[in-house]
Amino acid sequence: MKRNAKVSTAVIRRLPRYYRHLSELQRAGVVRISSSALGKSMGLTASQIRQDLFCFGEFGQQGYGYKVDSLKEEIGEILGIHRGHTVVVLGTGNLGRAIIQNFKFSSNGFQLLAAFDVSPRVVGAQIAGVPVYHADELESFLAGRKVDVGLLTVPIPAAQEMADRLVAAGVRGIWNFTNRELSVQRQDVVVESVHFSDSLLALSYMISQGGEDEPSDIQEGTE
Amino acid sequence: MKRNAKVSTAVIRRLPRYYRHLSELQRAGVVRISSSALGKSMGLTASQIRQDLFCFGEFGQQGYGYKVDSLKEEIGEILGIHRGHTVVVLGTGNLGRAIIQNFKFSSNGFQLLAAFDVSPRVVGAQIAGVPVYHADELESFLAGRKVDVGLLTVPIPAAQEMADRLVAAGVRGIWNFTNRELSVQRQDVVVESVHFSDSLLALSYMISQGGEDEPSDIQEGTE
């Protein structure tokens, strides 16, 4: 598939939304969809959608719309869903536990290998079938395996140290839920942070303005 | 404070990040900061920062930079932090519990009034001092109080129904963690969704590209 060289952050941020919406359409039994109908369900214009998808090559046929399943497959491919990514979770407090138990890693192409904590109450146990090891074992665990991503849900004071250890041990991405900005110098390691407060403050702004803004996704972020 | 009429989604999404960074600078004892230094810490250019803040009127003095505490206050004001917003949580599974116990609502100008669930194991109890009522009591609770936001962490099959009930009972915003798209017809109600999977798939894309992209915030999303 040909791809245009430089894809903007805004487009990258929309790709997962396309994937999510197409998955829902597929589940609803929709076979083909026009760019205007897809746009409507996502709050985008038809021309925006055609532009976005054009970044990644030719999809769909003029006048016939997009085939839902193959467009979803193509976007999944672009997102790296079939690359066998692996992840470990650091921190098994309520949030870590909620994510381990409820988040569908496999639907997003990730295999959850293990969790790490320091509490004797959980070390040695399993959470939803995922083994919990002591944080001291992190390096030896990572040394023997390809682990792409470390998910951080540790307390704030431990966040940067655990991030440093993950990077030193060779992960390529950190999925950061600690609500602390992480400093990672390596250009080849990506930090993706989920800041709940940024989301609530955006909502606070919108309701303070009288709610005239459109419903929005946290991922949206562009114009 | 004068404000330009139309503020783009991208700027709105960046405001909470400004607020967060300025809070960190304040904690670190920084009194004044130049737009270039602030930009550097946030991955933005100085001119981008000046443009963003110009949307909301004049801040700072040419050549003197910004006063950290007053800029933070002004942005907090714009975000509605002093408006006495209130919130209730629907669903006290692991995620709801994690948010109730750990999320600093008050730092974001929100008062958490109550939680609702259907499980006899939690109804009638408190979580971190927050009373948990039966979901059947939602309407009577909301009838007697100004509740601005409902935070949804209920299971997916219950998500739309609970959203409908919140809207009918008069909330102005829904903070949606259910990973389901909600359909809300009212123009004066804002839905803000936190989709973990969109964040992980963006990370998946970036590490699949070899991690050449810059570290990014989930909130970022613009160019």
Say if residue B70 is in the same domain as residue B100: no
* Residue numbers of the domain that contains A50: 9-77
Final residue belonging to a domain, choices B34, B57, B77: B77
Residue A98 near residue A130 (C-beta atoms within 8 A): no
Do B116 and B181 reside in the same domain of the chain? yes
Is residue A41 domain-shared with residue A127, that is, in the same domain? no
- Contact (CB, 8 A) for A190 and B203: yes
Domain with A70 in it: what CATH number? 1.10.10.10
**Considering only CA atoms, which of B6, B21, B14, B74 is closest in space to residue B48?**
B14
Position A206 in a domain: no
Does residue A157 lie in a domain region?
yes
Q: Which residues of B touch A199 (CB under 8 A)?
A: 16, 175, 192, 194, 219
Distance (Å, whole) CA A115 – CA A188: 24
Which residue is listed with tokens 């109730």? B100
Tokens (6 digits) for B169: 């009972």
DSSP structural state of residue B83: S
- Best mutation target, A44, A52, A191, A197, to test chain B (most B CBs within 10 A): A197
Q: Which residues have C-beta within 8 Å of that of residue B15, sequence separation ≥ 6?
A: A201, A202, A205, B52, B75, B78, B79
Number of domains in chain B: 2
A96 and A158 part of one domain:
yes
Q: Could you give the CA distance from residue A94 to residue A98 in angstroms, rounded to a whole number?
A: 6
Both A61 and A115 in one domain: the answer is: no
Q: Which of A77, A94, A109 is the last residue of a domain?
A: A77
Q: To the nearest 10°, the Cα dihedral for B9, B14, B16, B17? A: 160
Q: B132: helix, coil or strand? A: strand
In a shared domain, residues A127 and A57: no
Show residues of chain B in contact with A222, CB under 8 Å. Answer: 9-10, 221-223
pLDDT at A220: 36
Q: Does A152 touch chain B (CB under 8 A)?
A: no
Domain identity same for A57 and A143: no
Cβ–Cβ gap A94/B102 under 8 Å: yes
Q: How confident is the model at residue A173 (pLDDT cuts 50, 70, 90)?
A: very high
Shared domain check, B164 and B97: yes
Determine, yes or no, domain membership for A185. Answer: yes
Whether residue A222 lies inside any domain: the answer is no
- Whether the CB of B155 is below 8 Å from some CB of chain A: the reply is no
**How many residues would you count in chain B?**
223
Q: Is residue A150 part of a domain?
A: yes
Q: What's the pLDDT tens digit per position in B84-111?
A: 999 999 999 989 999 999 899 999 999 9
Which 3 state secondary structure label does DSSP give A8? Answer: coil
- Whether residue B149 contacts residue B131, with contact meaning beta carbons closer than 8 Å, is answered with no
CB atoms within 10 A of CB B47: 11
Q: Based on the domain organization, do A154 and A99 belong to the same domain?
A: yes
Domain end point (choices A46, A77, A108):
A77
Along the 223 residues of chain B, how does pLDDT read in single tens digits? 445 456 788 888 899 999 999 998 999 999 999 888 888 888 888 888 888 888 776 666 667 788 999 999 999 999 999 999 999 999 999 899 999 998 999 999 999 999 999 999 999 999 999 999 999 999 999 998 999 999 999 999 999 999 999 999 999 999 999 988 898 989 899 999 999 999 999 999 999 986 444 444 444 333 2
Are the beta carbons of B197 and A222 separated by less than 8 Å?
Answer: no
**Same-domain pairing of B73 and B135:** no
Are B80 and A208 a contacting pair at CB < 8 A?
A: yes
Residues B58 and B130 in one domain: no
Contact in structure between A59 and A78 (CB atoms under 8 Å) = no
Same domain, A122 and A31: no
Q: Looking up tokens 């935070």, which residue turns up?
A: B151
- Joined tokens for residue A145: 């395996």
- Residue B179, Ramachandran bin (φ over 0: left; ψ between -120 and 50: alpha; else beta): left
Residue B110 in contact with partner chain A when CB distance is under 8 A: yes
For the domain that residue B179 is a member of, what is the CATH number? 3.40.50.720
ipTM of the modeled complex:
0.89
Which of B81, B196, B210 is nearest residue A103 as measured by Cβ atoms?
A: B196
The span from the CA of B117 to the CA of B96, in Å, is 10
β-strand partners of A32: A67
Q: Are A213 and B205 an interchain contact pair (Cβ–Cβ within 8 Å)?
A: no
